[in-house]
Chains A and B, each alone.
Chain A
Amino acid sequence: MPTGIPEPDPPAAPVAAAAPTPAAAAAPTPAAAAAPAPAVSGPAAAARALLGRLATAAKRPVPADSAAAFRMAYGLLVAFGSIRFLAKGWVGALYLEPAHHLTYPGFEWVRPLAAPWMHLHMAALAGLGLCIAAGYRHRLAAALFVVGFSYAELIEASLYLNHYWFVTLAGVLLWLLPVGHHWSLDAARGRVAASPMVPAGAVWALRAQVAVVYGFAGLAKLNPDWLLEAQPLRIWLADRTHLLLIGPLLDEPAVAYLASWSGAFFDCTVVGWLLWRRTRPWAFAALVAFHLATGALFQIGIFPGVMILAALVFFDPDWPRRLARAARARAFVSGPVRAGEGQTGGEGLTGDAEPASGGGAPPEVGRVRLALLGLLAVVQLALPLRHYAADGNVRWTEEGYYLAWRVMLTEKAGHLEYAVTDSATGDTWTVDPRLVLTDWQAAHAATRPDLIHAAARLIADHYRDRGVADPEVRAEAWVAMNGRPARRLVDPGADLAAHARADLPPGWILEP
């Protein structure tokens, strides 16, 4: 039987052999503690040894409570989000009503289902969310959810949101990680082996997923506009002066600077504070306050709730049990104490003690899943950094913006129209993008070069269908960013219809 985890060098004890007791879960495993020193010196050997110790630590069993809670919260939130999407009529408004969709390069073939199938698709996503939460065939449910959710997201690129990308990635993690063996229907029914423990690596992976969001979002904020001009918060906060109590302060430049710098500091450092036991409660409280504030100030939907619940994974792996115990202990002050309750030590969210009920080997993670997790990690590091390979100011060009946690960095307003030329006759006329797009699609397209190109190709198709054999489509696109004067966004001489989505000439996006 495979252990499912690559053997470190030197070999560590099998996962099943690690003592699954509370004490063992809290402390380094004997195998890790007894790991012999590298036989040879040098950086390579040291790295191998470090990896070995890391692998051993990752296999260490820890209570599965927090991972299960993450799974349950995720499932409930995505179910809620899907139902909310249906209830607000967004399936019709955003997927079915537009005559055309602005697609991602390479995904032009993705089309919405016809009514009522698109509605049923969204309802099915809600159902899959509930399956994930309940732990009913959670891996299958998570895989299907990711596929179904990604399909919906790929239909319309103008609807791209970073928190949808987080939902996708967290769904992939829930598919790959053994988080369905505890507090799950599958475990209760014996479909999978019940285990109150998971490998520590599973919790690390969930924490890393949350850390990626904050880390890269913080990194993206370290730019001159954010730090030196307090933009775009100066603009956005000034539009919120009607808010109770704080409203009168929000159009003060000093407040915008304070919010910008503290926001950048928060994003850049909150993971560190959450990882450090002494600061964790305060960091979490700050995180809650931060997300509640941003939720009140900006239209960001369920994102604050998603991040608050996700950040709970930074607490000790048995935090749900400790919380319940603490709540019961508080209740006992005025009520009878039952035998055996409220008598374990280390209560409190950040205590060291492990649950008294801990035990059992954690479920294994196969090599394939482990490899996929590794690949996921590499992808997650590479995607947000790819914009460094792009030329120019990427806040203007938006190159490398998708899937990169570049959140709330710019206030942009654009004006977009196209000049269409019939190459056979030389006739040129102006076309409003709403010829092929809805108002909201056109508004998004006006500031985003890739969508300007996508819309140009739709307009070319429109005229080809009406007998213009070779329409040339050029964009008149003007954008004002972060309070600056408007500038042309794309080269008005570039025939966008002549180029495939991934084949545009260099320099077609102009510098601001």
Chain B
Amino acid sequence: MTFRPAAAVIVAAWALAAGCGGGPPERADVLGDLADEVIIPAYERLAASAEALAGAAAELCSTLEPGDLAAARRALEAARADWSFSEAMWVGPVMERRSWAVIDWPVSAEEIEDLIADAAVEIDYDRLARRIGADQRGLGAVDYLLGPPGAAAVLDELADERRCAYLAGVAEVIAAEAALLPADWTADFESGGPYRAVFADPDGSGLDAVVNDAVFLLESITDLELGAALGEMGREADPSRIAEGPAGLGAVDLAGRLEGLRAVLIGTDETPGGLSPLLGDDLAGSLAARFAAAATAVAAIEPPLLDAVAASPQTVSAARAAIKDLQITVATEVVSQLGVTIGFSDADGDTGA
């Protein structure tokens, strides 16, 4: 075998550049860090808060004490906040399992009351987990059954055994579903190994998925919800597009969704990072300013959100404008910087007309 200096130099140069180059971070590494530092902890927090909610609901049903009602409401708020935070991470298992149909879906009070009133129907875990509609369960159902803050009559209503069993059962179903999600990411998902590996796979579409989710989430907030409720997306205002329960947590949800999105894109104060290593300092800084402006605008909304839409539409509109500003930045600069494909046809393209 003949030693070829030129070939050796080329191989060495390639190895140097590939192995120890000081260039930008690998996308797979960034996605792996995002999963480890943001997404998995978020699902773990959700699982814990959902478990706490189930415990609080069970405790409330066993005591029917005002203190336990207040504790259950606090547990609901915590679970909602964690769920809202995770919305910017709705990729993979949460979508495959359709967990949102179990954990949080706009509810129908009428359907819930019909089920409770129908004594022929046994209220047990199996029925609540598998045999009722998405509009009869989830955090929205818990919110409905716990009623608005300060409503003491709720305790009288919950004295109805079926009603409280419904409350505790729905909370238990939520906790069971939420517990699956961190395990999907860290242990195994559909026999394909931990989803974390799929998400961070260099050949995978984790980046596309998470950025598409961000774009869709912002569009949902600005246009489908706030815009529609304010009447800015059509000739008629449609407040029903905001799904807010008696607890009046719409603005809290909004803030949680934005915090989750911030964590994904540029990280939080506690866990800086997110996708920012791929975005560069300028764009990350621009996003941080927009997130701050949006958070300030949302904080100015006096809850409940639905009341604010009616009583102080200019405040809600200002929040929408701030979030729209963020939406434009993500849909243009972030998408462009990452070369992400947004909901396209797969027809051949030569990229640039």
Binding site for B on A (CB under 8 A): 88, 90, 93-94, 159-163, 232, 235-236, 238-239, 241-242, 247-249, 251-253, 298-303, 398, 401-402, 406-415, 417, 422, 427, 429-432, 439-440, 443, 448, 478-483, 485-486
B16-24, B93-101, B122-130, B245-253 - the one binding chain A: B16-24
Q: Does B234 reach chain A (CB closer than 8 Å)?
A: yes
Interfacial chain B residues near A415, Cβ < 8 Å: 327-328, 331-332
Known: A161-B348, A429-B234, A429-B235. A413 touches B332 (CB 8 A): yes
- The CA-CA distance from A238 to B340 in the complex, in Å, is 11
CB distance from A485 to the nearest CB of B (A): 6
Tell me if B27 is interfacial: C-beta within 8 Å of chain A: yes
Contact of A252 among B17, B227, B232 (CB under 8 A): B17
The 6 closest A-B pairs by CB, nearest first: A301-B348, A242-B202, A248-B18, A440-B345, A486-B332, A480-B332
Q: Do B344 and A443 have beta carbons less than 8 Å apart?
A: yes
Query: Apart from A248-B17, A248-B18, A300-B351, what 5 extra A-B contacts exist at CB < 8 Å?
Result: A90-B345, A238-B24, A413-B342, A414-B332, A440-B347
Once bound together, how far apart are the Cα atoms of A195 and B17, in whole Å?
A: 57
Q: CA separation between A248 and B234, bound complex, in Å?
A: 48
Q: Is the CB of B24 within 8 A of A251?
A: yes
**A480, B337: Cα distance in complex, Å:** 9
Report the nearest A residue to B335, measured CB to CB. Answer: A413
Cα distance, A236 to B352, chains bound together (Å) = 12
Minimal Cβ-Cβ distance residue in A for B353: A401
B5 interface residue, CB < 8 Å from A?
Answer: no
A56 to B343, CA, bound (A): 55
- CB of A161 within 8 A of CB of B24, answer no
Q: Taking the nearest CB of chain B, how far is it from the CB of A489, in angstroms?
A: 10
Residues of A within 8 A of B63 (CB): none
A260 to chain B, nearest CB (A): 14
Residues from chain A with a CB closer than 8 A to the CB of B27 are 238-239, 241-242, 251
B26 at the interface (CB under 8 A from A): yes
Report the Cα distance A429→B335, complex, angstroms.
26
Would B350 and A161 count as touching, CB distance under 8 A?
yes
In the complex, are the beta carbons of B235 and A485 less than 8 A apart? no
With an 8 Å Cβ cutoff, the count of chain B residues facing the other chain is 50
Contact B352 A408 (CB under 8 A): yes
In whole angstroms, how far apart are the Cα atoms of A441 and B26 in the complex? 32
* Nearest chain A CB to B347 CB, angstrom units: 6
Which of A90, A302, A406, A479 is within 8 Å of B332, CB to CB? A479
B333 interface residue per 8 A CB criterion: yes
- Chain A residues in 8 Å Cβ range of B328: 415, 478, 486
A249 touches B332 (CB 8 A): no
Closest CB-CB distance, A207 to chain B, in whole Å? 22
How far, in angstroms, from A447 to B353 measured CA to CA in the complex? Answer: 10
CA distance A238 to B351 in the complex (A): 16
User: Can you sample 27 A-B contacts with CB below 8 Å?
Assistant: A88-B346, A90-B347, A163-B348, A232-B351, A235-B339, A238-B24, A239-B27, A239-B339, A247-B202, A249-B17, A251-B23, A253-B23, A302-B348, A303-B348, A413-B331, A413-B336, A413-B340, A414-B332, A415-B332, A429-B232, A430-B232, A440-B345, A440-B347, A448-B353, A478-B328, A480-B333, A485-B282
Q: How far is the CB of A216 from chain B (nearest CB, A)?
A: 13
Chain A residues whose C-beta falls within 8 Å of the C-beta of B202 in the assembled complex = 241-242, 247
Nearest CB of A to B334, in Å: 8
Quote the shortest CB–CB distance from A479 to chain B (angstroms).
Answer: 6
* Interface status of B286 (Cβ within 8 A of chain A): yes
Shortest beta-carbon distance, B281 to chain A, in Å?
13
Give the CA-CA distance A248 to B352 in the complex, in Å: 26
> Contact partner of B14 among A88, A249, A407, A414, CB < 8 A?
A249
- How many residue-residue contacts, CB under 8 A, span A and B? 154
When distances are taken between beta carbons in the complex, the residues of chain B under 8 Å from A239 are 27, 207, 338-340
Q: With A241-B202, A302-B348, A440-B343 given, is the CB distance from A252 to B331 under 8 Å?
A: no
Kindly state whether residue B231 has any CB partner on chain A within 8 Å: yes
Please state if B26 and A411 are interface contacts (CB–CB under 8 Å).
Answer: no
Which of A398, A406, A440 is the most central at the interface, judged by chain B CB atoms within 10 Å of its CB? A440
Q: Is B114 an interface residue (CB 8 A)?
A: no
Quote the shortest CB–CB distance from A276 to chain B (angstroms): 27
Give the nearest-CB partner of A431 in chain B. Answer: B233
**Pair A413/B333 contact, Cβ less than 8 Å:** yes
Give CA–CA (A110, B312) in the complex, Å: 49
Chain B: CB-nearest residue to A300: B350
Measured CA separation A483–B336 after assembly (Å): 6
Q: With CB as the reference atom, state the residue of chain B lying closest to A450.
A: B353
B233 and A483 form a contact (CB under 8 A): no
Contacts A160-B353, A429-B231, A486-B329; is A480 near B345 (CB within 8 Å)?
no
Instruction: Tell whether B223 is near chain A: CB-to-CB under 8 Å.
Output: yes
Minimum CB–CB distance from A423 to chain B (whole Å) comes to 14
B70 at the binding interface (Cβ < 8 Å): no
Q: Are A411 and B339 in contact (CB under 8 A)?
A: yes
- Determine which of A303, A422, A479 lies in contact with B350 in the assembled complex, contact meaning CB atoms within 8 Å: A303
Q: Is B349 an interface residue (CB 8 A)?
A: yes
A480–B353 touching, CB < 8 Å: no
In the complex, B203 has a CB within 8 A of chain A: yes
**A93 — which chain B residues lie within 8 A by C-beta?**
345
With A94-B345, A241-B202 already in contact, the answer to whether A407 and B350 are too (CB < 8 A) is yes
Q: Confirm or deny: B28 has a beta carbon within 8 angstroms of a beta carbon on chain A.
A: yes
Residue of B nearest to A85 (CB): B347
Contact of B347 with A159 in the complex, beta carbons under 8 Å:
yes
Complex: chain B residue closest to A236, CB-CB: B339
* B352:A407 contact, CB within 8 angstroms: yes
Chain B contacts of A486 at CB under 8 A?
328-329, 332-333
A410 to B331 CA separation, bound complex (whole angstroms):
16
The reply to whether B232 and A299 contact each other, CB–CB distance below 8 Å, is: no
Contact call A300/B21, Cβ cutoff below 8 A: no
With both beta carbons as reference points, the residue of chain A lying nearest to B203 in the complex is identified as: A242
With A429-B231, A486-B333 given, is the CB distance from A440 to B344 under 8 Å? Answer: yes
Cβ A402 vs Cβ B336 within 8 A: no
B residues less than 8 Å from A482 (CB atoms) = 336
| Bound Cα distance from A157 to B301, whole angstroms | 44
Given A241-B27, A252-B21, check contact A162 B332 (CB 8 Å): no
B-chain residues with CB within 8 Å of residue A431 when the two chains form the complex: 233
Q: How far is the CB of B330 from chain A (nearest CB, A)?
A: 9
Query: Which chain B residues lie closer than 8 Å to A236 at the CB level?
Result: 339, 351
